[in-house]
Chain A
């Protein structure tokens, strides 16, 4: 069955620290997609990144980087030199095939506090 686990409920760091948000998933499909979304205090979820199951290459985008490891079913997200504006709830999500299309489930989210 599909499952996404974000074991860290809340993380608090001081500005400029690096922080890693963990995501572990379960799926029986060989074709699936993984996502990270950010939900700032304003409430709207913002798409950050997607990865398909055939592409284990890690990705870096500015201060953000993602480490996808199929061997451990993990898709971790690291923020380097964190800033106050990074304070948000971050959701990891898994999408796999379902009747008529793809179905996405979300983890419970990790709330990140970055203090000045």
Chain B
């Protein structure tokens, strides 16, 4: 079974705090993604990574950074949390075309972050 785990289901932080959201996968896939989900806006891509130490900006990278030191772990960092970063954060891995898939994504359970 595919397993994508996120470090917390619920998190409450204060404005200005540095926040780390961790995502770990056990499938040895290269491609990993961070999205945020907000009502009426669907999922918006923050950052993604195609391999270790590689990162690419998504559609809304401002206020975020990422780290991919090991293949199985992709971390999302809020350098200085703000109230407009209150959201549901979803991590995903992508099933590769080389393995016979067509880029469908498998998601973790999500982290609901509240910034006060």
Contact = CB atoms under 8 A, between A and B. Distances in A.
Interface of A: 4, 6, 9, 33, 35, 37, 43-47, 50, 52, 91, 93, 95, 98-109
Contacts of B106: 47
A75 to B, nearest CB: 14
Nearest to A46: B107
A104 B54 contact: no
A108 B41 contact: yes
- The 5 A-B residue pairs with the shortest CB-CB distance, nearest first, are A108-B42, A106-B43, A45-B107, A106-B42, A100-B50
B45 A105 contact: yes
B101 to A, nearest CB: 8
B104 A101 contact: no
Interface of B: 31, 33, 35, 40-45, 48, 50, 54, 56, 58-59, 88, 90, 92, 94, 101-110
A62 B62 CA distance: 43
Contacts of B105: 35, 45, 47, 104
Contacts of A105: 45, 59
Main secondary structure of the interface of A (DSSP, over half): strand
A50 B103 contact: yes
Nearest to B90: A45
Contacts of B88: 43
B56 A43 contact: no
Contact of A104 (B40, B103, B108): B103
Contacts of A4: 42
Contacts of A107: 42
Given A106-B42, A108-B40, 16 more contacts: A4-B42, A6-B42, A33-B103, A43-B88, A43-B110, A45-B105, A50-B103, A91-B42, A93-B43, A100-B56, A101-B94, A103-B48, A103-B58, A104-B94, A106-B44, A107-B42
Nearest to A51: B102
A99 B42 contact: no
> Which residue among B54, B105, B109, B110 has the maximum number of chain A CB atoms within 10 Å of its CB?
B105
A54 to B, nearest CB: 11
A71 B109 CA distance: 36
Nearest to A99: B56
